[in-house]
Amino acid sequence: MNIALIGYGKMGKAIEQIALKAGHSISCIVHSSDNLPLLAQSDVDVAIEFTQPESAFENLSFCINSNIPVISGTTGWIDRLQEIERLCKDKDGTFLYASNFSIGVNLFFELNNWLADKMAQLDFTPAMKEVHHTEKKDSPSGTAITLAEGIIASHPSIEGWINEESADSKKLGIVSERTPNVPGKHIVSYSSPLESIDITHTAHDRSVFAEGVVKVAEWIHQKKGVFTMSDFINDN
C-alpha cells in the first residue's frame, strides 16, 4: 500500500516507522498545505492527515476532490466536520476522522457509552479528567470531547461540558492537565454520596496511536464512504 503523509511531526514520523515495518511504502510527504499538489503527482492509495486545526479542512478537501482516500487525526477543527462528510458523499470519496486511533481507546469509547447509559438511570454524577503532554495545543483533548459527547447523549439533564470542574449539574466538567512526556490519559468518574466508579485509559507510548492509524488505513483504502472508528472496531 502506498501511503501519503500530510504532516510530518511526531505522529507523522511514528506512522512512517510503523507503516514501513508493516511492509507499506511512503509515496509522498506533505509538510504544508502549499505542497498539496504533490499528492496528485504521486501514486497514493491512502493519505493520512495529522496537521493543525487551521489547515485540516483545506487538506481534507483537497484529498477528497482529488479522489484520494483520507484518514484524519487532527483535532480542534470538527466544527466543519459535517462539511467534509457532505463533500465526501457528494464526491463518492473515502474519509474517516477519529479523535484517537488507539484500539484500546476506541474500546474505551464503547465501554463509556454503555456505562453512561446505565448511569443515566441512577443517582451518580459524572466528571472527567484528561492528562496530555505539554505540546498538545487543544484543550480539552478531542478524545475527552468524544467521551463527553457519549455521556451527554445518555443524560437528558446534562446540556453540555465545560473545561474545568463543574458545580453545575447541567454541565459536565472536564479537567485538563498538561504534563511533560505524557502520551495521554483519560478518566471518567461517577460519584454518589455512597460510592464512586472510575474507568481509565492510559497510553504508555505514542506508537499505539500510529499502529492504530496504519491498521485503519489497511482496512479503509479500498472502501467508499464516510466511516468512524466504531465501523472499524465492529468490523473486526
CA distance 5 to 93: 18
Q: Which of 132, 155, 186, 221 is catalytic?
A: 132
The answer to whether 27 and 44 are in contact (CB under 8 A) is yes
204 labelled catalytic: no
The verdict on whether 133 is a catalytic residue reads: no
d(CA 129, CA 165): 9
Closest CA to 129 of 84, 213, 185, 77: 185
Instruction: Write out the three cell numbers for 196.
Output: 464512586
| Dist. CA 191–CA 38, nearest whole Å | 52
From the candidates 24, 129, 136, 221, give the one annotated as an active-site residue: 136
Q: How many C-beta atoms surround the C-beta of residue 80 within 10 A?
A: 13
**Gap between the Cα atoms of 188 and 85, Å rounded:** 29
Cis peptide before 183 (omega within 30 of 0): no
Please give the angle made by the CA atoms of 63, 67 and 68, to the nearest 5 degrees.
Answer: 55
Is the four-CA dihedral 3, 55, 31, 204 of positive or negative sign?
A: negative
- In 3D space, the residue among 108, 178, 65 whose CA is nearest the CA of residue 116 turns out to be 108
- Classify residue 137 by burial, with Cβ atoms within 10 Å: 0-12, 13-18, 19+: exposed
Active site residues: 132, 136
